[in-house]
A and B are shown apart, each in its own frame.
Chain A
Amino acid sequence: MVHYLTPAEEGNRTDEKIEQEVLLEVSGINKRYSGVPVLRDVSIQVRRGEVVGLVGENGAGKSTLSKIVAGYLASDSGTIEFDGRRRKFKNVREAEAAGIVMIPQELQTAPHLTIAENMFAGSLAARGGVVNRRELFRATIEQLRFFNITADPLATLSTLTVSEQRLVMMAARLSKRASLVILDEPTAALTDDETATLFAHVRRLREQGVAWIHVTHRLDELEVIADRVVAMRDGRVAETFESPVGKRRAIVRAMIGSDVAKLRTRHTTPAPANEREVVLSLSNLSVRDPDNRDKFRVKDVSLQLRAGEVLGLFGLVGAGRTELARAIFGSWAGEVSGDVRLYGSPWRARGPADALASGVAMLTEDRKSTGILQGQSVNANISSASIRAVSPGTIISRAAEYRRNQGLARDLGVRPLNLRAAVETLSGGNQQKVLLARWLATNPRILILDEPTIGLDVGARLEVFDLIRKQAQEGRAVLLISSDLEEIVTQADKILVMYKGRINAELPPNSPRHEVMLAATGKDTQWRL
């Protein structure tokens, strides 16, 4: 068990000079995505040897800002000064050559190549086109030693655990002589111990003058690692906090702004809870990572889902909300333990078909990869989960199918109302309605909606909200999973907030948004080792 000093405890560190020297000066950055502003007049400063936490809601502009600094994106206007020089990076390579390295959330790896080759992909030491194996070996050993990883550089990457792989790839990126490192949600996939290891490395490099931008939702982690926290909101820097210790509430407020709801609030009265029948109950449900058995994606979650209610499950990246939904639906690849009861009797879905047969339907988060059936008609997309219901025999009864689907599409307001159209020709909002129709066609008693409005415009969002409410009114139990604060606060009858795989808070509908966000960023949890 290691105890790390918080920056506050460490207090007056030496080398005041290095501390003060500004390494990165971003001023007046603007960025639009086809007309929609995502960054407005953003200015931040990073000093040498400093760890800056960058926080904000989804869509606040953290990722866009990081990508602009790291050369992945160009800004529309504004300047970047780095290491005393005005810079305009055309691509990642230029930024890396200057000493800025970004470590994205998902690292691209080639699991069947050696550790050394993975670490130095793109910059293999070579002489005349032939890889210099000896030099490669030496450089790899050097990097691994720095990170205290004992591994054979010539072993394939897949022989390491997932988190080791991550550390190795980070080491590789850091080997590019970085003076500024941007970490995007680095700890979402790591266990606490692995996070501690990572933080130890961050500290060590900081001592050498390397500066860090740490993009995260986890405020408890920032308390121990960050010297300063920059909170973003709606594409602007809302507030900067010197030393974040004990300022969580203030930071959360800065992230979400005032509590004025931007959307109309829920118009129905909250369902009279507790009297309603419990449809699904979970007790102590735990879900393990399929690749890393030590990592719990969901830990000891208990909840009750009642008929006619919209139960909101809020969580940010890495909170475990999708994993929980998949575990219920039977589509999680890893190990699931705990007790699940459906109408009071023990139940566990062996797979999606099994879940659907029991009246549990799930709208998945990723519309493209697990939702729409590209190239097929709207009609076939709606029927995919329920063709048996309209055609018990071998031959499809087209008329019965068509009538049922046409009715559903009309009720949900699919536009254009043409069942023959290929589904991908519809807008995102209408694709989502088609998918909703698919699940309603199975006549589910439980409807799990994972990020139902992701990527939709405001109008489509409101339509989907109405549809969700209607399902609850018709007696279905709805589990609404979202990382959208607005959505969860206005649409849910009860709000559960997940943080690091656990339920961290249970809140009433229309709760103040900062309460929800506070719980989702680690309210009251202390980073301990």
Chain B
Amino acid sequence: MAIVTSDQERTEGESVRRGFSLRTLPIDPQFIALGIAFIVLAVLFQIGTSGVFFTPRNLSLLLRQGSVVAVLAAGVSVLMIMGQIDLSIGAAVYLVGVFVAQLDINSDLPIYVLVIAGIAAGCVLGAWQGFWVVKLAVPSFVVTLAGLLMFRGVGWLWTNAETVAPVSEDFIGLSESFTPTGLSVIALTVIYVVSLVAMVVSAQGDRKYGLPVDTVKLIGRIAGLTVPFVFLVWISSGFLGVPAAVVWAAAIGLVLTVVMQKTRFGRNSYLIGSNREAARFSGIPVRKLTFYSFVLMGAIYGVGAVLLTARLGSAPANMGINLELTAIAAAVIGGTSLSGGKGTVIGAIAGALLLSTIDNGMGLMNVSSFAQTVVKGAVLLLALAVDAFVNRRSLTRI
């Protein structure tokens, strides 16, 4: 028997060597595929809309449209990295949206209190689901499927399925206002320079401590920082400034990226997602961290609900329907694995922007929304096919 095992090890080693070239690229091939998809779509839409697509005005709209999905995709990618899933996103966003809209309409509370109340309410929903998943070991698929039904049901009972409207102008401003153009450009430039310096300094620090620095990766990161910066400056100086929704999405993206890449919680999340049993044997508090991640997702419901309610100016009964599927699709397109252990917050946000680009461009081209759905499905399929192709080895392992 021992001989058989060593034999398996050997053949496995060989197959690893065969798949070497793609797997050891310094940049994730899926990111490259995503970049190509963006460029191809942009060119197609630019031609198809005779130049309307690629204007600051339209791109500003595109970003505002994509922000809610980006925030939720970033949140669900954290859960997915841990090997969990959340199907209740759309319903939870609706219920919290109803809550904050009611608060806004029926009270004189300042806006920031409303935001905090929304996030707190979201956390309660997240903790509720986390409780069932962690304490009672019900699979998150089932728990959040129940949440999908229950949260929306509660919202409908509460409002009698009537639209909660209208929310105040101040509230709408949470998503739809703009930072002034001049200030935007200055702020963006400051943020850009600070991030750039931080990146280089951190790389230098690594080198000093004997950490190997991957130059290609560093250049890739700098490019990844520069391209969005250039676009944002162009968009915000060309049309009113930076949309508030984008500020929210960027802030959430930044916070979650730091959490996932730099903290112990983030590291352990990846480990739990890649092998739950081995993580448990390593003494990682798997259940506690899983619960935290659901509460974190709850906070994201709150942010998403505030943004969407502000954007719609109300909380209608069909608010957020299918939002969970769009968010999960965005995370998957951005490289998050459904089986856990793999993915990034930035990738999920990029996936959300790609879906938003498709919506926006096809909308401009007057393609029916039915056809848009087909195209988005195809993109999702393609993204997974690219992933499967790159990681061919894992196919044979199943």
Let me know if A34 and B206 touch, CB within 8 A: no
Let me know if B6 and A372 touch, CB within 8 A: no
List chain A residues, Cβ under 8 A from B225.
none
Taking the complex as formed, is B220 at the interface, i.e. its CB lies under 8 A from any CB of chain A? no
Give the contact stretch, choosing among B242-250, B277-285, B295-303.
B277-285
Question: With A380-B267, A396-B264 in contact, is A372–B7 under 8 Å at CB?
Answer: no
Closest Cβ–Cβ distance, residue A455 to chain B (whole Å): 3
Closest Cβ–Cβ distance, residue A367 to chain B (whole Å): 9
Closest Cβ–Cβ distance, residue A510 to chain B (whole Å): 22
Taking the complex as formed, is B341 at the interface, i.e. its CB lies under 8 A from any CB of chain A? yes
A33 to B10, CA, bound (A): 11
| B: number of interface residues (CB 8 Å) | 43
Chain B, residue nearest A356 (CB)? B283
A63 to B4, CA, bound (A): 10
What mask results when residues 307 to 326 of chain A are scored 1 for a CB within 8 Å of chain B, else 0?
A: 00000000000000000000
A203 to B231, CA, bound (A): 82
Q: Which size bracket describes the interface of A in this complex?
A: 35 or more
A59 to B4, CA, bound (A): 8
Closest Cβ–Cβ distance, residue A55 to chain B (whole Å): 14
Let me know if A38 and B4 touch, CB within 8 A: yes
List chain B residues, Cβ under 8 A from A422.
23
What mask results when residues 69 to 102 of chain B are scored 1 for a CB within 8 Å of chain A, else 0?
A: 0000000000000000000000000000000000
A457 to B13, CA, bound (A): 13
Q: Which of B8-41 contact A (CB under 8 A)?
A: 8-13, 16, 23
Taking the complex as formed, is A371 at the interface, i.e. its CB lies under 8 A from any CB of chain B? yes
List chain A residues, Cβ under 8 A from B4.
33, 38, 64
Closest Cβ–Cβ distance, residue A120 to chain B (whole Å): 28
What mask results when residues 375 to 414 of chain A are scored 1 for a CB within 8 Å of chain B, else 0?
A: 1100010011101100100111011001100100000000
Taking the complex as formed, is A197 at the interface, i.e. its CB lies under 8 A from any CB of chain B? no
Let me know if B3 and A403 touch, CB within 8 A: no
A226 to B212, CA, bound (A): 63
Give the contact stretch, choosing among B108-116, B268-276, B314-322, B356-364.
B268-276
Closest Cβ–Cβ distance, residue B398 to chain A (whole Å): 13
Taking the complex as formed, is B370 at the interface, i.e. its CB lies under 8 A from any CB of chain A? no
Let me know if A427 and B13 touch, CB within 8 A: yes
Question: With A34-B10, A457-B6, A484-B2 in contact, is A369–B264 under 8 Å at CB?
Answer: no
Question: With A373-B279, A425-B16 in contact, is A398–B206 under 8 Å at CB?
Answer: yes
Taking the complex as formed, is A58 at the interface, i.e. its CB lies under 8 A from any CB of chain B? yes
Contact of A406 among B206, B210, B341 (CB under 8 A): B210
Taking the complex as formed, is B194 at the interface, i.e. its CB lies under 8 A from any CB of chain A? no
List chain B residues, Cβ under 8 A from A454.
2, 5
Q: Which of A441-467 contact B (CB under 8 A)?
A: 442, 454-457
A214 to B107, CA, bound (A): 80
List chain A residues, Cβ under 8 A from B271.
373, 376, 380, 384
Let me know if A387 and B268 touch, CB within 8 A: yes
Let me know if A59 and B264 touch, CB within 8 A: no
List chain B residues, Cβ under 8 A from A372.
275, 278
A388 to B283, CA, bound (A): 11
Contact of B2 among A58, A354, A442 (CB under 8 A): A58
A370 to B281, CA, bound (A): 7
A505 to B360, CA, bound (A): 76
A383 to B266, CA, bound (A): 13
Let me know if A375 and B274 touch, CB within 8 A: yes
A387 to B263, CA, bound (A): 10
Contact of A34 among B1, B7, B16, B265 (CB under 8 A): B7
Taking the complex as formed, is A428 at the interface, i.e. its CB lies under 8 A from any CB of chain B? yes
Chain B, residue nearest A38 (CB)? B3
Taking the complex as formed, is A43 at the interface, i.e. its CB lies under 8 A from any CB of chain B? no
Chain A, residue nearest B7 (CB)? A33
A362 to B278, CA, bound (A): 11
Taking the complex as formed, is A357 at the interface, i.e. its CB lies under 8 A from any CB of chain B? yes
Contact of A402 among B9, B210, B270 (CB under 8 A): B210
Taking the complex as formed, is A7 at the interface, i.e. its CB lies under 8 A from any CB of chain B? no
List chain B residues, Cβ under 8 A from A391.
264
A37 to B264, CA, bound (A): 47
Question: With A33-B3, A59-B1 in contact, is A364–B264 under 8 Å at CB?
Answer: no
A429 to B205, CA, bound (A): 33
Contact of A352 among B7, B263, B280, B342 (CB under 8 A): B280
Q: Which of A24-78 contact B (CB under 8 A)?
A: 33-34, 36, 38, 58-59, 63-64
Chain B, residue nearest A35 (CB)? B7
Let me know if B341 and A396 touch, CB within 8 A: no
A428 to B2, CA, bound (A): 13
Taking the complex as formed, is A299 at the interface, i.e. its CB lies under 8 A from any CB of chain B? no
A108 to B12, CA, bound (A): 26
Let me know if A385 and B274 touch, CB within 8 A: no
Question: With A356-B283, A370-B278 in contact, is A396–B6 under 8 Å at CB?
Answer: no
A391 to B263, CA, bound (A): 9
List chain A residues, Cβ under 8 A from B279.
373, 384
Chain B, residue nearest A393 (CB)? B264
Q: Which interface residue of B10, B12, B23, B341 has the most chain A CB atoms within 10 A? A: B10
Taking the complex as formed, is B374 at the interface, i.e. its CB lies under 8 A from any CB of chain A? no
Q: Which of B197-216 contact A (CB under 8 A)?
A: 205-206, 209-212, 214
Let me know if A427 and B9 touch, CB within 8 A: yes
Let me know if B282 and A384 touch, CB within 8 A: yes
Let me know if B267 and A387 touch, CB within 8 A: yes
Let me know if B5 and A455 touch, CB within 8 A: yes
List chain B residues, Cβ under 8 A from A352.
280-283
Closest Cβ–Cβ distance, residue A382 to chain B (whole Å): 10
Question: With A33-B7, A373-B274, A376-B341 in contact, is A385–B283 under 8 Å at CB?
Answer: yes
Chain A, residue nearest B264 (CB)? A387
Contact of B341 among A36, A369, A375, A420 (CB under 8 A): A375
Taking the complex as formed, is A507 at the interface, i.e. its CB lies under 8 A from any CB of chain B? no
Chain B, residue nearest A439 (CB)? B282
Q: Which of A261-295 contact B (CB under 8 A)?
A: none
List chain A residues, Cβ under 8 A from B285.
353
Let me know if B281 and A399 touch, CB within 8 A: no
Chain A, residue nearest B337 (CB)? A375
Closest Cβ–Cβ distance, residue B90 to chain A (whole Å): 30
Q: Which of B218-251 contact A (CB under 8 A)?
A: none
Contact of B16 among A331, A402, A424, A442 (CB under 8 A): A424
Let me know if A34 and B11 touch, CB within 8 A: yes
Taking the complex as formed, is A173 at the interface, i.e. its CB lies under 8 A from any CB of chain B? no
Question: With A373-B271, A398-B206 in contact, is A59–B2 under 8 Å at CB?
Answer: yes
List chain B residues, Cβ under 8 A from A376.
270-271, 274, 341
Taking the complex as formed, is A438 at the interface, i.e. its CB lies under 8 A from any CB of chain B? yes
Contact of B211 among A371, A398, A428 (CB under 8 A): A398
A254 to B363, CA, bound (A): 80
Taking the complex as formed, is A374 at the interface, i.e. its CB lies under 8 A from any CB of chain B? yes
Let me know if B342 and A456 touch, CB within 8 A: no
Closest Cβ–Cβ distance, residue A454 to chain B (whole Å): 6
List chain A residues, Cβ under 8 A from B7.
33-34, 36
Q: Which interface residue of A352, A356, A406 has the most chain B CB atoms within 10 A? A: A352
Question: With A374-B341, A375-B341, A424-B16 in contact, is A455–B281 under 8 Å at CB?
Answer: no
A98 to B189, CA, bound (A): 80
Closest Cβ–Cβ distance, residue A394 to chain B (whole Å): 5
Chain B, residue nearest A377 (CB)? B270
Q: Which interface residue of B11, B205, B263, B281 has the most chain A CB atoms within 10 A? A: B281
**5 tightest Cβ-Cβ pairs between the two chains A and B:** A455-B5, A399-B209, A428-B9, A353-B283, A385-B282
**Interchain Cβ contacts under 8 Å between A and B, 25 examples:** A34-B10, A36-B6, A36-B7, A38-B3, A59-B3, A352-B282, A369-B275, A369-B277, A370-B275, A372-B278, A373-B275, A373-B341, A374-B341, A375-B342, A380-B270, A384-B271, A388-B264, A396-B262, A399-B211, A402-B210, A403-B209, A403-B210, A420-B214, A425-B23, A455-B8
Additional A-B contact list (20), CB under 8 Å, known A373-B274, A385-B282: A33-B3, A34-B7, A36-B3, A352-B280, A370-B275, A373-B271, A374-B275, A374-B341, A376-B274, A384-B279, A391-B264, A394-B265, A395-B264, A396-B267, A399-B206, A399-B209, A427-B13, A454-B5, A457-B6, A484-B2
